[in-house]
Structure 1
């Protein structure tokens, strides 16, 4: 028997978990709760011991978590650690695997000659080819321009999103295509990819200055006091 340093229960040594790197040991029940809390926040769990920085190897999670939960959490961790401008998702609906642009290119060039020039990429999970430029299944005998001419209308799902974005007045980042919604603040938007633009018209900001003549802010987006207080501030 061994005492768990978290719950202080006497546990059979076969039910104790040892963390690689530091060899601190805790019962599987306590480790399960500790890891679940961390993974639900999208971060890798560290050893619960005070000031210990050893990470719990994600491959060892299967000792106390269901395999499907491990897969979901592995995806979340990868999403949080992959830069926005490097993220690429497989366009096949039944796959949608997250990859980085660099890793999928390295994976593709071993089986497809001219991948860098053509834009062809091979999904690392489903192994189907797709176009990194158009983000559609690979158009083998067509250039991107030819494909766009022959498919002038976006898929139904994209049409619905674009319609909602228009209604809600959301704005797309021109650099990474990330959808942005202004909740509060001024109209000078700095996307998470670093690109700066005007939320009203989409024009780029250069050297911290707008290239358009749109208003920079609206009182309704920057003042959050009670109505009476807002009026007093405006009057002043």
Structure 2
């Protein structure tokens, strides 16, 4: 066999090996692709099953109304009691109206404000109320028809503007904003009562206070 023929045969052999190698790689890639598609299909099917899966049939007694409700529709407190949605909403709304009930508690443990159960609006009001009750020198709108709590925007803020009605209020005397020093004027009956009871005005918050125990010196 001539050198040319041998070279041609060897070249054809190499091409054949390369073709076989490419075929194997193609088969491997196709197999891997099929596996990936199958896994993706399984994942989608599992996700659909999770969405369509029915809620648990386990029922628990509400610590407030004593009715049985589906556990998935209730909230569990730190003390392992359960509350239904309607009772939980009522507890949080009552706490907004009555400071003695804030924050809502069960077995002396605060109940978490769940947005899923209460809604974003009620949760936001709960957060705002918490800020209000932590304020040791609260100021409310001087307009009695409004009387909204006015959060402090700056440490030394003297006058604040109500975001609801626009009325400006003095933070020191709690009356309508004014120029100069605060002038404390009480109703005639309240003035007379304060004199009879010997009430004094706090030098820090300017509120009338009554002595229950201790000396007459105000610090």
TM-score calculated relative to the size of structure 1: 0.46
The structure where helix makes up a greater share of residues is: 2
Asked which structure has the greater CA Rg, the reply is 2
TM-score calculated relative to the size of structure 2: 0.49
